[in-house]
């Protein structure tokens, strides 16, 4: 005579409680961390889902992007770029152009943000570069990777150096939060297996991205910020 299922389970629990608990725990653990076929990268700051090239090409970037006013750029004179600050001080950048190219440094003011009181200075080295944001009121500096892009709601700046011609050179991903006129770095991620080749904001917490892998090109994704 077969036992009803509930009696069978009760008997098993009483006779083998440790083993049955172990089976239930394994099943529950597997269900609590679902993975999708599109997940490319995930950490506590960002999540990246893979998309196709055709999906990527259909995405229009936000109109803000750089949000830069280039009408009043300041030109360097005699190898020095001098930026006046509202508190009466000045921030000075000096070019270094020597015969040995690897010692080269050139500073260029490419404009200011329309909605933020910051000069944007592009510093070019022999085989690298960076952007420095200078607060016009205090002179405080923030160093970022190229290219600092403003979110559609103008609350965040994201930056990641774009080096599509250098395979295997992995780059940082920086996010700055804008609090009134001050910038605060929220995170600086250093991926070890991929590099960013192109970024474009598509909403206040999502970006379309072109990703570079060693030996692989034309990988695309959607970055979701975990703010």
User: Which three-class secondary structure state does DSSP give residue 65?
Assistant: coil
pLDDT of residue 8: 40
pLDDT of residue 195: 80
pLDDT of residue 5: 41
Taking the chain (227 residues) in runs of 10, the rounded mean pLDDT of each run is: 42 40 30 61 92 90 70 90 95 80 81 90 82 93 84 88 53 86 87 82 92 73 90
Angle subtended by helix axes 17-32 and 5-15, to nearest 10? 110
Q: What is the pLDDT of residues 69-82, one digit of tens each?
A: 888 899 998 889 99
Residue 96 and residue 24: Cα distance in Å, rounded?
A: 67
| SS percent in the chain: helix, strand, coil, step 5 | 15, 45, 40
- Tokens 């991903």 belong to residue: 173
Give the burial string for 127-154 (b: 16+ CB within 10 Å, else e): eebebbbbbbeebeebebbbbbbbbbee
């Amino acid at each position: 005579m077969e036992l009803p299922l509930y009696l069978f389970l009760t008997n098993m629990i009483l006779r083998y409680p440790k083993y049955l608990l172990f089976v239930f725990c394994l099943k529950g653990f597997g269900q609590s961390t679902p993975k999708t076929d599109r997940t490319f990268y995930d950490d506590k700051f960002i999540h990246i889902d893979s998309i196709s090239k055709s999906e990527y090409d259909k995405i229009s970037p936000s109109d803000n992007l750089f949000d830069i006013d280039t009408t009043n750029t300041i030109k360097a004179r005699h190898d020095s770029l001098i930026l006046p600050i509202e508190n009466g001080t000045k921030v000075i950048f000096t070019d270094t152009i020597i015969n040995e190219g690897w010692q080269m440094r050139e500073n260029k003011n490419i404009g200011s943000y329309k909605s933020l009181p910051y000069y944007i200075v592009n510093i070019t080295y022999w085989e690298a570069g960076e952007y420095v944001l200078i607060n016009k009121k205090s002179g405080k500096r923030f160093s970022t990777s190229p290219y600092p892009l403003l979110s559609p709601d103008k609350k965040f700046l994201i930056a990641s150096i774009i080096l599509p011609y250098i395979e295997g050179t992995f780059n940082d991903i920086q996010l700055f939060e804008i609090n009134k006129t001050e910038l605060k770095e929220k995170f600086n991620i250093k991926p070890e297996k991929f590099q960013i080749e192109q970024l474009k904001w598509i909403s206040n917490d999502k970006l379309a991205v072109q990703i570079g892998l060693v030996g692989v090109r034309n990988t695309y994704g959607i970055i979701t910020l975990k703010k």
